[in-house]
Amino acid sequence: MVLETLSVFPELFEPYMSTSIMGRARTAGLFSFEAHDLRDWTHDRHRTVDDAPFGGGQGMLMKPGPIFEAVRDIVGRDQRRAHVVFFSPCGKTFAQADAQRLAQKERVLFVCGRYEGMDERVYELADEVLSMGDFVLTGGELAALCVMDAVVRLIPGALGDAMSNVDESFEGGLLEYAQYTRPASFEGREVPAVLLSGDHARIAAWRRQSAIARTAAWRPDLLGGANLTSDEWDLAYRAQRTQHEEGEADA
């Protein structure tokens, strides 16, 4: 898999993409990464990528010329088709399903905005536009790193354990189950006894119930896509009631 970024701050990417899981997967050849400097496609002495918006207003906008030239040039450098992703508050909110879909692409180019945004005309270059949520970032670099991290984790071999992705949050429409480590007793708080039993079937059942209860309490909006049985829906409703009652007690 080939991952590429286009940004006015390409130096921001290398430290993260060379560290931990990203670094090991990259060294193992599971994906390649290149950060392109948008200023390489400018033609003035100041390497200008922004200008004042028509109609007035605060801040500066990224000019269309360098972005069009850069994207066309980068896309044409490789016979493998580049899937071009832009970031904007008007984009689709990124989710795990999007990471899974992007992980199937041979090549992805992330175009990162800065300043007050980009000239509207550049979005015609995008295969899709993503948003990280209803908040504002200084630039698209952090958004691109988030998406690349989520995608690389799904590449076979990136996590080492083939089952690591299966148990993570949002797989199967649920949050991940509660987890514990040593010591088994900490300040009077005990690890659930079933996790110490060695009975893998009971542990698996407990984890399923824990995932349902946690999702019902914290992210009930996810339950509709979780394919629950009638008994599991009852468990979810009980967890929601408990959460509600505890919230009222705290108030």
Render 33-64 in DSSP notation, one character per residue.
EEEEEGGGG--STT---EEPPTT--SS-EE-H
Are 88 and 117 in contact, with CB atoms under 8 Å apart? yes
* Pair 117, 62: CB distance under 8 Å: yes
- Helix, strand, or coil here: 134? coil
pLDDT score recorded for residue 167: 59
Residues near 124 by beta carbon (within 8 Å), at least 6 away in sequence: none
Find out whether 89 and 45 touch, Cβ atoms under 8 Å.
no
pLDDT tens by residue, 186-212: 999 999 999 999 999 999 999 999 999
Strands 50-51, 32-37: pairing is unpaired
Amino acid 166: pLDDT: 57
**Per-residue pLDDT reduced to its tens digit, 73-92:** 999 999 999 999 999 999 99
What is the SS3 assignment for 189?
strand
Is 251 a residue whose pLDDT tops 80?
A: no
* The dihedral formed by the CA atoms of 15, 45, 85 and 161, expressed in degrees to the nearest 10: -20
| pTM passes above 0.75 | yes
**pLDDT reported for residue 170:** 77
> What stretches of the chain adopt beta strand conformation (E)?
2-7, 32-37, 50-51, 61-62, 83-93, 107-111, 128-131, 185-186, 189-190
Phi, psi (deg, nearest 5) at residue 212: -65, -45
Place of tokens 């071999």: 157
